[in-house]
A and B are shown apart, each in its own frame.
Chain A
Amino acid sequence: MKKEFWRKMGLSEEEYGMIKGILGRDPNEVELGIFGVMWSEHCSYKNSKAVLRSFPTTGERVVQGPGENAGVLDIGDGQGVVFKIESHNHPSAIEPYQGAATGVGGIIRDIFTMGARPIASLNSLRFGSLKSKRSRYLFNGVVAGIAGYGNCIGIPTIGGEVYFHPSYEENCLVNAMCIGLIDIKDIAKGVAQGPGNPVLVVGAKTGKDGIHGATFASEELNEKSEEKRPAVQVGDPFMEKLLLEACLELIKTGYVVGMQDMGAAGLTSSSSEMASRAGTGMEMDIAKVPRRETGMTPYEIMLSESQERMLVVAKSGAEKAVQDIFAKWGLEAVVIGKVTDDGYLTVKEGDEVAARIPAKALTEMCPVYAKEAKKPEYLIKAQEYDLSTLPELGDYGQVMMTLLGTGNIASKEWVYRQYDYMVGLNTVVGPGSDAAVLRIKGTNKGIAATTDCNARYVYLDPRQGGQIAVAEAARNLVCAGALPLGVTDCLNFGNPEKPEIFWQFKEAAAGISEACRTLETPVTGGNVSFYNETKGEAIYPTPVVGMVGLLEDISRVMTMGFKDEDDIIILLGENKDELGGTAYLSVIHGLEAGKPPSIDLEAERLIQRTTLALIKEGLVKSAHDCAEGGLSIALAECCIAGGLGADVVLSEEMKASSLLFGESQSRIIVTAHKEKMEKVLSRLSINKVPYKVLGNVGGEYLTINGSGWKVRLAVCDMEEKYRRAIACYMDM
């Protein structure tokens, strides 16, 4: 075999040697192509597996941890919440609309493959500066693509996040998350059990699109990337809607043994993973695969990433019943082979054997690497930056207005008004709040969900940044009145072959691990996206945390807006003199330096549990966490959301900028009726939660009084700035 060929497949010399060893002969081109994708980072996690093993993955509620198409958590009454996040960064950087659309389509399939009805989507997005034309083009296309796919299929997009930073200029991030609901007894898995059982390809026809998408995702973007045309596909949400309804109807019949969507590496990964999980083999005649174009080779059929397809293993004898259901939805379901007991993936074209490989060789036997890790130089310099010399700007009101008008803090209304966030009649709290909340029909329960990651913190201290991402996600859920249950993560990093990048990755994962342990939110699945670089420059390390939580009683749902005049505003947690890594530093002083805010995970946990108890007892009327922009911005957001002003006193002896714009962690703003204040404060004292009574709600202005300074802004002015900022950029 020519060296160029296996190099092109992304395999190393040692790996090629291993493959020869496994097969006991030279692989042919089809086999090599199959190994190439299955042993790519995207499919095999060969560079990240060792690190991911540190995540806590068990817990009382974990029904399905990592390893299946999606994780499942028990939410009582025999029901489970199914959820997962996935990246579609590289395709979106090349064709924003279709790249994002097919990303949404892929993650939705992961959910209904489990037998769950998808009930909501979220997304986490990163682009370069809003001042850049290219970033705006990508941003516009990505949001339209998410909307185009999600709205058509009828799954509400209920939340997410968007950040802008020059490090994403060429390599935007598009992470899509989907949540489904299932009766736990109905969970379907991606297993090919029962030798003799038929294997069917269902859904869309196979075309030449997307060949080598997985390998593409495992390389850096460069000028040649635009030439990798086949790696971008066009999504067909209508087809997926049909597939969704047909699959869910099929699962109800009990004829399904196993099912898996054809995502990255298409037929290759679905067949080998299903066989490998079950310890069986599979024999397929790819001449039978329905195709869109003529003249496709076995290689192309095995590696095609055409969308909206599934592989189904059915009970023997049920072929006709399966086909009838798909026919009702206007879809094809074709038997292409059967499960075998020899442990081999045997690919035939007619009578000709095109490839024959032990299924486990493609999955479990993929080599695992422990990459070299090295603390990057930039970090030491950045962390040592002396912030005490910063000039103190006088006009804090002006600073607040500037912050409210920056893309990262401003309202994301421009984005989520393009999403149908209401379809399904479950959205109790839509986008625009700390976390979105869905009711579960037929019960008193609700589910809350959020995605979070402040990549600037991770850049300045990956471990602490990883911890904060988890803590903030959990805090957002708590502010909605939900108990955080579990995590799905999407780890977006640069090229792991660089020791500095790998160090970031390891540290961030360790931080996530630690926070998940303390906050009791196990990781049930996720996704790693490496090679997010262009021209040698890596993105900011961006480990996105997707989290779901449970409300036992949906009537206790909480939102951040101030509710009534004269309510008392109480801050839980402590203001510290921490300006490192803040939005204030970045926006006002053009600095991304210092140590990010400190976090004490135990204190975080205490504050969260206490807030939740206050909400459950009906003692507070609003709750909002302090995040980007600090206390002042959090207060402004409460005012804007509630359409009410506030009068607040900050009496601490601290630099005004730190007090107003510092991003100290573990702080939550709550409001309570005057008559409930005593009770709230006594609860806080008993729980030993530090707090401050800040003032009261009312009027049309937000007034913040410090020692020797004062800010006074009209709520309507702040709202105008906050709501219009992104639209202004996009109308440019």
Chain B
Amino acid sequence: MRFGVVVFPGSNCDADCYHVIDKVLAEPVEYLWHGDRDLKEVDCVILPGGFSYGDYLRVGAIARFSPVMEKVLEHAAGGGLVIGICNGFQILTEVGLLPGALVRNPSLKFQCHNTRLRVERNDLPFTSLYKKKEIVEIPIAHGEGSFVADEETLELLEKENRVVFRYCDENGEINGISNPNGSLNNIAGICNEKGNVLGMMPHPERCAEEILGGLDGEILFRSLAGWRQGGDVA
């Protein structure tokens, strides 16, 4: 599995994702410059966290017009894997690959801390090595991560089983207290219909080494790395 990490001028988790794939997983990985229309034939595109173009107007708003995104859209349409983490998730909703939007945390504050997530499905290339309903700990770090969508969209997401991660408590309960940012239905991550595009607010790359406090995020990258190349997405 060849990975590509997109670099927007204001990305700041690009090197972190690269590090995990290169040094922890020892898998091939390339940087993809925002101004180039070239995905370097990678299998999985990562849109990393950060502040793509400063995020001054709306998070992810300007990034969606960058040349590389044209190719990412094509890649996704052809069934290629795409994962957007944090700012990457915001970009995916702006560009329309995923529904809904991410708005300001009700606390009006940037929030950086660990969260517990329940893995809602493990039949995806991104989550195949997690157990179903497994509770994992992955940190968030965002000011605008509150997931919103209109009612129909939300219903559709639930009906089609497209919620991949939900904020939960230590027993896996989904409730208000375990919801750090007011996301509807405690949504932390969703996928598209085909299941080849994932967006999530928490940062799996930040817990992929024991010394940094956990390995729950590494499982996601290992799932991807082990996914059969060209294999069908469930």
Q: Which residues of A contact B (CB under 8 A)?
A: 144, 147-148, 151-154, 236-239, 241-242, 245, 329-330, 416-425, 427-428, 439, 441, 554-555
Contact = CB atoms under 8 A, between A and B. Distances in A.
Given A151-B110, A419-B110, A554-B211, 7 more contacts: A152-B10, A152-B12, A237-B51, A241-B10, A242-B10, A425-B16, A427-B212
A423 B141 contact: yes
A237 B49 CA distance: 15
Given A152-B54, A238-B56, A423 B211 contact: no
A421 B13 CA distance: 12
A427 B213 CA distance: 9
Given A154-B50, A241-B9, A241-B10, A439 B211 contact: yes
Contacts of A242: 9-10
Contacts of A154: 11-13, 50-51
Contacts of A245: 9
Contact of A330 (B9, B12, B211): B9
A181 to B, nearest CB: 13
A423 B203 CA distance: 10
Interface in B197-213: 203, 205-206, 209, 211-212
A241 B11 CA distance: 9
B139 interface: yes
Contacts, number: 83
Contacts of A153: 12
B203 A238 contact: no
Interface string B168-182: 000000000000000
Contacts of B16: 423-425
A144 B109 contact: yes
A693 B12 CA distance: 47
A544 B203 CA distance: 34
A555 B9 CA distance: 34
Q: Which 5 A-B pairs have the closest CB atoms?
A: A154-B12, A238-B54, A420-B141, A152-B51, A425-B16
B53 interface: yes
A421 B9 contact: no
B113 interface: yes
B86 to A, nearest CB: 10
B111 interface: yes
B10 A238 contact: yes
B10 A420 contact: no
Contact of A418 (B9, B50, B111, B139): B111
A417 B211 contact: no
A423 B12 contact: yes
Residue among A147, A151, A423, A554 facing the most chain B CB atoms (10 A cut-off): A423
Nearest to B20: A425
A425 B141 CA distance: 13
A151 B54 contact: no
Contacts of A424: 15-16
Interface string B7-24: 001111101100110010
A213 B19 CA distance: 41
B112 A417 contact: yes
Given A152-B54, A427-B212, A428-B211, A421 B10 contact: no
B54 A428 contact: no
Contacts of A416: 112
20 contacts: A151-B110, A152-B10, A154-B11, A154-B13, A238-B9, A238-B54, A241-B9, A241-B10, A241-B51, A417-B109, A417-B111, A417-B113, A418-B110, A418-B112, A420-B110, A422-B139, A422-B212, A425-B16, A425-B19, A425-B212
Contact of B9 (A329, A417, A420, A441): A329
B111 A238 contact: no
Given A238-B51, A238-B56, A422 B9 contact: no
A295 to B, nearest CB: 27
Interface in B108-139: 109-113, 139
Contacts of B143: 151
B203 A147 contact: no
A474 to B, nearest CB: 24
A221 to B, nearest CB: 28
A393 B9 CA distance: 60
A439 to B, nearest CB: 6
B175 to A, nearest CB: 20
Contacts of B9: 238, 241-242, 245, 329-330
B22 to A, nearest CB: 11
A418 B109 contact: yes
Residue among A238, A417, A422, A425 facing the most chain B CB atoms (10 A cut-off): A425
A245 B53 CA distance: 14
B122 to A, nearest CB: 26
Contacts of B11: 154
A241 B87 CA distance: 16
Contacts of A241: 9-10, 12, 51
Residue among B112, B139, B203, B205 facing the most chain A CB atoms (10 A cut-off): B112
A419 to B, nearest CB: 6
Residue among A245, A417, A554 facing the most chain B CB atoms (10 A cut-off): A417
A223 to B, nearest CB: 31
A425 B12 CA distance: 11
Contacts of B51: 151-152, 154, 237-238, 241
